[in-house]
Amino acid sequence: MLKIILLSSTSSNDRSTTVKGWVTALVLSVFVIISIGSGAIFGYKLSDLHWQVVFENTAGEIREQIKIQSDNVAVGREEVQQTLSAMTIKLAEMRSRLVRLDALGEQLTQIANLDDGEFDFSASAGLGGPHTAVSSELADSISPQEEIELIFASLESNLGDREAQLSVLQSMMSDNRLRTESVVAGRPIIKGWMSSEYGMRSDPFHGRKSWHNGVDFAGREGSDIIAVASGVVVWSGTKKGYGKMVEINHSDGYLTRYAHNKENLAKVGALVKRGDVIASMGNTGRSTGPHVHFEVYKDGRTVNPATYIRRTVN
């Protein structure tokens, strides 16, 4: 039995009543159902709130990961761009060095007087050899960037070695060529013949014996007169008895004179090489016809040019 007391604002009005057993059970059942329902609703609300928090946290983590990956992609793209820029600069440097090597090679072929095609720097060099396979483990152990860096390092090393070698060869061959070209040798004309030798002779004007300081080469007026060695022009003008004359100072105390010219082509101070045209054959000064009077001096004294005319230089 369930006893229910009803309270009033005044004590005189308080009442009590007694409820039978089945009513009591019904009331308790209703109370329990209401409690369970309220708990279920509350639990559902809590569960729903929990999943919402989890979803928002997960979404936030995903957004953070996306941002990190985006930043990594941007950094990677910048590194790739920097690498490409560095590679472009390196390739440009190597290209300029290859151009220099080609120029050095061309100069060497000219200095060495190599035949056309014997050593052609403009063509690719012949290469070959048996194929040797590289193991996949070794190939996979090297990243593409490391492989590229190794290739560039190898090329740069080879270029440096070739530049040094060619520079030394060029210097040695140029020095040797200058020494060779500075040696007095050969005839001062391309076409013509020797008309008077060095030493005592009959003077062509009065017939008496007189000393001739050089040799004469006769030929066609206006034909080329060439330098017999490289040197510096120290005189280009008119001299009494010689007419128009060119004088060249060579190494080792040698000096050569070319006289009776029709026209002097080489100017004072000019650097001439063996075979350069320095004047045209003429009949100026004390002369009986078109020829070149050729003199050789050694340490300020005349010497017989015949020795040097017969000399050959390789």
pLDDT tens-place string over residues 258-275: 999 999 999 999 989 999
Predicted pLDDT of residue 86: 73
Judge whether residue 4 has pLDDT over 90: no
Total Cβ atoms within 10 A of residue 149: 15
Task: State the amino acid at position 311 in one-letter form.
Answer: R
Higher pLDDT, 77 or 176: 77
pTM exceeding 0.75: no
The CATH number given to 193-309 is: 2.70.70.10
Q: How many CB atoms neighbour CB 259 within 10 A?
A: 27
| Segment 232-249, tens digit of pLDDT | 999 999 999 999 999 999
Going by pLDDT thresholds of 50, 70 and 90, the confidence category of residue 227 is: very high
What's the pLDDT score for residue 243?
96
pLDDT for the residue numbered 88: 74
